[in-house]
Amino acid sequence: AQRVTQPEKLLSVFKGAPVELKCNYSYSGSPELFWYVQYSRQRLQLLLRHISRESIKGFTADLNKGETSFHLKKPFAQEEDSAMYYCALSGPQGAQKLVFGQGTRLTINP
């Protein structure tokens, strides 16, 4: 079964502190993993994907196949990072459905 688990519904950290949003997945095969973000009153948008191995807005995420995890990290949180974050997976073929986690609402306190 394809499943994405984000164990924290809410996460609150202070500005300048490190942030880690957890994501674990279940998939028989090699999925593509993504983090999508939804800022207040904006649409869902892609933050980063594991195949790109890039850092976007200071965020990184490493795919750990042994632990089936794809945690999102940022060393120094900024207030503008406050948003809803969704971890998602799709099949390896591309252009396939996204399976989303529950989402984590991240709040950065000043």
Partner 1 sequence: EPEVTQTPSHQVTQMGQEVILRCVPISNHLYFYWYRQILGQKVEFLVSFYNNEISEKSEIFDDQFSVERPDGSNFTLKIRSTKLEDSAMYFCASTRTSGSDEQFFGPGTRLTVL
Q: Which of 101, 104, 106, 108 binds partner 1 (CB under 8 A)?
A: 101
Of 4, 1, 27, 8, residue with least CA distance to 100: 4
CA separation for the pair 46, 9 (Å, rounded): 19
From 18-26, 46-54, 61-69, 73-81, span contacting partner 1 (CB under 8 A): 46-54
Say whether residue 94 binds partner 1 (CB under 8 A): yes
Q: Which of 51, 53, 76, 109 binds partner 1 (CB under 8 A)?
A: 51
CA separation for the pair 22, 89 (Å, rounded): 14
Say whether residue 43 binds partner 1 (CB under 8 A): yes
Smallest separation (angstroms) from partner 1 to the CB of 14: 27
CA separation for the pair 63, 39 (Å, rounded): 24
User: Which phi-psi region, left, alpha or beta, contains residue 105 (left: φ > 0; alpha: ψ -120 to 50)?
Assistant: beta
Say whether residue 97 binds partner 1 (CB under 8 A): yes
Q: Give the footprint of partner 1 on this chain (CB under 8 A).
A: 32, 43-46, 49, 51, 86, 90, 92-103
